[in-house]
Amino acid sequence: MILCGAYLYKFKDASSTIPKGSPFDIKTLTTDILRASDRDKNFSELGNIPAGYTSIFTVSTLQRRHYYAVSDTEEAMLWVRSLHEARQEGITQNMGHASNVPYPSSWRHFDSLGKGLVKSKDRIKERMEKSGIEHMEMTPFPEGQIPRGYYG
């Protein structure tokens, strides 16, 4: 993951050059660390943590909770603290109470890219909900009729 400007970008692995999915708007995130006792009791669906990873932190959006395994509790605390601080700074900046440190112009570029990706995802999701694509059955079309494609 990379925190840049007002968005948190996810990547498949360290060598990926293209973000995975749309980024998270930092202002709408909540974060937490899963304690070992919580994992054992309530999160058996997570399965085993990969070798070399001993701690898990969560990033929650309005719709989902995402789990990330890290090497130790200290790294999990660092991620949670960094994301919390970035969220507070983003909210402060949105309110017009920016600190005396100027917002980097390159981050504005990344923010506009992130905002575009989020809007695109929301538009696609809205169109799918309107057209009922999620619940459509795969049925053959009558002879002579051509299926209408979905173009965004």
The CA distance from 150 to 86, in Å, is 38
pTM of the model: 0.62
**Polymer length in residues for the chain:** 152
Closest CA to 31 of 65, 1, 73: 65
Q: Output the CA torsion sign for 135, 149, 20, 31.
A: negative
Question: Residue-wise pLDDT tens for the chain (152 aa)?
Answer: 888 878 888 888 888 888 888 888 888 888 999 876 555 555 555 677 778 888 889 999 888 888 888 888 899 999 999 999 888 887 777 676 666 556 666 767 777 777 788 788 778 778 877 776 545 555 555 555 555 555 54
Three-state SS at 71: coil
